[in-house]
Structure 1
Amino acid sequence: MCEVEIGTRVYAKMCLHAARYPHCTVSGALVGRRGNGCVTLCDCVPINHLYLPLALSLEVALTQIDSWCAPQGLVIAGYYQANAGLKDNSPGCAAQRTASLISEYQEDAVLIMLDNEHLSLNPGVPPLTVLHQNSSKDWVPKEKTLVMWGHWEETQRITRQLLHAKAYQRLVDFDTHLDDIRADWTNQELNLEIARLSAAANGRT
């Protein structure tokens, strides 16, 4: 079974998406690389907050994301979602359907469900569940030993700094981009800020 490694940028941006729209269901695509029996999730692209993705809007978003990924040697490796309900972290039909669509093109795709009730500045353990498709095509939790965090303490610290700075106000998802095509759905400004915070945490300039 394939291992999954979750990078700082992915976790931070998922949390920022949920923080920007705390009363909405938010979702997006997980982006990563495959190699040596492992999928490394290195980025995510926020897609929705206004409604669960319709077939056409989702297809447009995934097509653009795929075109953006290819030159970088990246693939759409899964899907994430945070439900609107505080205590609801179950993968509904829409989330499973979208993740299944991605899995048709990308082996070992994952579905990440954020746990809203435990999203905080100091969560202790990662407040999310990573699911994969079993042989029956059902989405079930992945074994925890197959989910890796390279720098969980650093990831928490950087995410906490971003939330304190209200960086979520600058996050752009596809819904926002469709309202204003000048809005950057790749969130390069945030990516650079996360990279800067990561470099500072590791003593680099």
Structure 2
Amino acid sequence: MCEVELSTRVYVKMMLHAIDSWSALQGLVIAGFYQANSGLRDTSINSATLRSASLIAEYQDDAVLILMDNERLTPSPGIPPLTVLHQNSNKNWVPKEKTLVMWGHWEETQRITRHLLQAKAYQRLIDFDTHLEDIRTDWTNEALNVEITRLATVANGST
């Protein structure tokens, strides 16, 4: 089999098209892009992330780029360990005004996240790149989403 080198833009467009098609069937939209770096103190945003987020912003006016701040990721952070960015009028990604970022159900989110971290659920998380390497993998992470829904239902007092 011969491999074809795709430009990053074409590759990202292909991924976004596949994800957007699936999302539309689920009644969802792609609203932004998320990045978590492997280094504890690394808060840089790589060029592939910037290109991906910018491409999303071409189709979604209020698109956001969410960056995990690993240093603030603790078992019980007082505020979400995330930086939310948006594109300004010059198309640069800048932090969104903190008063415009609302975090609903933060305590519930913390409890669910703590449970998932303790269960090492991140080891079962499949991203789209992994799916492209092995199409048998489920990039929609249905099993994890079922688990999260169950945990949220328990948190809300429903069963």
Structure with more strand by fraction: 1
User: For residues 77 and 181 of structure 1, what CA distance do their matches in structure 2 show?
Assistant: 24
User: What amino acid maps onto 2:152 in structure 1?
Assistant: S
How big is the shift at 1:126?
0.7
Question: What is the SS of the residue equivalent to 1:130?
Answer: strand
Correspondences of 1:51-200 after superposition (within 5 Å): 54-200=8-154
The structure with the larger Rg is 2
Residue equivalent to 1:35: none
Of structures 1 and 2, the one scoring higher in RCO (CA 8 A, sep 6+) is: 1
User: For residues 48 and 134 of structure 2, what CA distance do their matches in structure 1 show?
Assistant: 26
- Give the paired residue count: 153
Residue equivalent to 1:34: none
Gaps of 5+ in 2: 1-6
How big is the shift at 1:165?
1.1
Stretches (4+) displaced over 4 A:
none
User: What amino acid maps onto 1:115 in structure 2?
Assistant: D
TM-score, normalised by the number of residues in structure 2: 0.88
Pairwise CA RMSD? 1.6
Cα offsets for 1:52-89 (capped at 9, x unmatched): x9334322221110000112222111111112332121
Question: What is the SS of the residue equivalent to 1:148?
Answer: coil
How big is the shift at 1:119?
1.7
How big is the shift at 1:132?
0.6
Gaps of 5+ in 1: 1-52
User: What amino acid maps onto 1:141 in structure 2?
Assistant: P
